[in-house]
Amino acid sequence: MTTLRSTETPDAAELLARARALVPSLLERSPRTEAERRVPDETVADFERAGFFRVLQPKRYGGLQMEFSVFAHLVRELAHGCASSAWVYAVVAELGWVMALFPREGQDEIWGSDPSARGCAAVDPSGKAEKVAGGYKLSGQWRFISGSDHAQWVLLTAPCGEGAARVVRQFLVRRSEMQAVDDWYVMGLVGTGSRSLTANNVFVPDSRSITQQEMLLGTAPGKDIHPDYPTLRAPRRFLTAFSLCPVIVGLADRALQIVVDSTRMKLAAGTPIPDLDALQLKIAESAADIDTVNTLLDTHLARTVARIAAGEAISDQDVLRNRMRGAYITRLARTATDRLCVASGSGWIFDNSPLQVVFRDVTAGATHRALNFESSAKNYLRALGVGAS
């Protein structure tokens, strides 16, 4: 077990060092994470002790209130050890920012008695909400809720009829008020436990609801509750373009390390390698691509957080361009990973190969709608007036 250092207010470098120190433990627990189809409690406890869940949580409630780039770099580093754990971290830690968008009374209810309270999310609209006195009644089923095993709150997205209008709203619901559907039987990211959750006529007070538009535009009540936290005023998708793609980048880093180490060991042992020249070229090409995606991620993150810190106006085109960038980073990292698998020979197809785990996790993660390059690119080009709107 890795021993973690502890400080009251760690800086970005300290947090990243803690993440690196955890990678061996994450690697060791990876088979168990897959077998149990959930992130182990020990891993979540490690993340809690290291302060990772506090990175985007506002200072008012005991958080570190750091820049989004710190969070994204932690996601990438954790993926070097376990993609499912990194994915769950990405979803849960991001909710520290999202829950800070709600009215003060709602935030007080969530964090007032438990500053370590965590959330998970279903961002696709589903179910239905009905306006009632003092709040809403919520019913339905929501899919792909990663990290619900370790969250006390769930962010749900649902349409709501309000008079003649149909408004898509966000609701924070107690996890204890929802029921899990054991439907997460998948090829990759198995340990995320991204099962469906259902709600049956659950009451949600007004203080735990905002419109989806407020969340997406950065105009929700939380921006005034935390005036010293620029992230809360940012259009959500301008940042979340870089929430999950760091998992795929971290996995590509891992794939390269596995193939390089394996090839080095074979050469040192005098094991013949057929078509060694071709293998060397494939490894080099993949290494160049992976170096590029890391550089792109770091560069776009730095520019994005700088614009938010400066209070610059963010246009719809800016948002769509960032989403295209995140999807392109994912595609390039996935291509490099696929190339490494094929070039390394047939050994990676065995279930006990760590490279197979990387391949499955990359393939599964890249199916996320936000990481689809074709749709993101088309949306951006339409915003530029190129193609049908």
Q: How many helices (H) and strands (E) does the chain have?
A: 13, 8
Mean pLDDT of 51-63: 97
pLDDT of 4 strictly over 60: no
Mean pLDDT of 206-228: 97
In a domain, 119, yes or no: no
In a domain, 116, yes or no: no
Residue 119 three-state SS: strand
CATH number at residue 357: 1.20.140.10
Mean pLDDT of 198-217: 97
- At residue 161, the pLDDT reads 82
Asked if residues 155 and 121 have their Cβ atoms less than 8 Å apart, the reply is yes
Residues linked to residue 174 through DSSP beta bridges, in sequence order: 153
pLDDT of 183 strictly over 50: yes
In this predicted model, what pLDDT tens digit does every residue of 6-43 receive, in sequence order?
A: 447 899 999 999 999 999 999 999 999 999 999 999 99
* Cα 154 to Cα 95: distance, rounded to the nearest angstrom: 9
In a domain, 219, yes or no: no
Nearest to 252 by CA among 92, 164, 362, 369: 362
In a domain, 151, yes or no: no
- Provide long-range contacts, Cβ within 8 A and 24+ apart, for 149-152: 149/38, 149/39, 149/193, 150/39, 150/41, 150/44, 150/88, 150/92, 150/118, 150/120, 151/92, 151/95, 151/118, 151/119, 151/120, 151/175, 152/114, 152/117, 152/118, 152/119, 152/176
- At residue 389, the pLDDT reads 57
- At residue 357, the pLDDT reads 96
- At residue 111, the pLDDT reads 97
In a domain, 52, yes or no: yes
What is the domain count for the chain?
A: 2
Query: Which of the listed residues 100, 135, 153 is the one where a domain comes to its end?
Result: 100
Query: Which of the listed residues 65, 83, 100 is the one where a domain comes to its end?
Result: 100
Mean pLDDT of 260-289: 93
In a domain, 51, yes or no: yes
Distances (CA, A) of 247 to 67, 267, 332, 343, 365: 18, 30, 13, 22, 8
In this predicted model, what pLDDT tens digit does every residue of 242-270 receive, in sequence order?
A: 999 999 999 999 999 999 999 999 999 99
* Cα 33 to Cα 349: distance, rounded to the nearest angstrom: 20
Residue bearing tokens 């870089």:
242
* Cα 237 to Cα 379: distance, rounded to the nearest angstrom: 13
pLDDT of 138 strictly over 90: yes
Q: Which tokens belong to 378?
A: 């088309």
* 110 vs 162: which has the higher pLDDT: 110
- At residue 5, the pLDDT reads 36
Q: Where residue 166 falls among pLDDT bands split at 50, 70, 90?
A: confident
Residue bearing tokens 């193609």:
387
DSSP track, 294-311: HHHHHHHHHHHHHHHHTT
In a domain, 249, yes or no: yes
Q: Where residue 352 falls among pLDDT bands split at 50, 70, 90?
A: confident
By residue range, what is the domain housing residue 70?
Answer: 12-100
End-to-end Cα, the chain, rounded Å: 54
Nearest to 365 by CA among 284, 244, 259, 270: 244
- At residue 388, the pLDDT reads 67
What percentage of the chain carries pLDDT values higher than 70? 97
pLDDT of 350 strictly over 80: yes
Reduced DSSP (H G I as helix, E B as strand, rest coil) percent helix, strand, coil of the chain, to 5: 60, 15, 30
Mean pLDDT of 158-185: 92
pLDDT of 346 strictly over 60: yes
In a domain, 260, yes or no: yes
Query: Which of the listed residues 100, 116, 131 is the one where a domain comes to its end?
Result: 100
Asked if residues 299 and 249 have their Cβ atoms less than 8 Å apart, the reply is no
Amino acid at 195: R
